[in-house]
Amino acid sequence: MTEKEKCAQGLLYNANHDQELINERISAKDLCHEYNHLKNSDVAGRETLLKKMLRKTGQNICIEPSFWCDYGYNIEVGENFYSNHNLVILDCAKVIFGNNVFIGPNCGFYTANHPIDVKQRNEGLETAHPITVGDNVWFGGNVVVLPGVSIGNNAVIGAGSVVTRDIPENVVAVGNPCKVVKNIDQ
């Protein structure tokens, strides 16, 4: 089984010494670099590069520079997606955003997880677990979403939160670790 296949199954894999994964990250980061250096007025160029980088995009998407990802092909964004500056998506596993998702500045979505066992970690082993974000979700600035988390429809994640576990729909959640503080009445 290849390291990429192990990764896709959530098993320990080595991303640091596998040439296929290294080459894919280099390619994605070259595209991110190109994207981040386009003029803001080059809306068509930005859209073209996003559609080239990401697995799936809806219409009306905007990611303000800078934007960085590991592979790009594991990222799906729905309709009417907006991210402010400095978005980082470590997409070793799938990262799926629904429709009408708004992300504040300096947010990160990290699917990579490193072992607690120091020997495994020093060998460069890691696992990857998907992140899923529902429709109509709003993230305040400086939010971090960790591996394996799902966030329900209509949720609001407060600025500075570290999301370590699933968040249900129709709630406001904040903090480190992020916790539900109130329900949203529809």
Selecting among 37, 85, 114, 129, the annotated active-site residue is 114
Instruction: Tell me if residue 114 is catalytic.
Output: yes
Rounded Cα–Cα distance for residues 186 and 184 (Å): 6
Tokens of 76: 């799906």
- One-letter amino acid for residue 186 of the chain: Q
Residues 139, 121: contact at Cβ < 8 Å? no
* Catalytic annotation, residues: 114
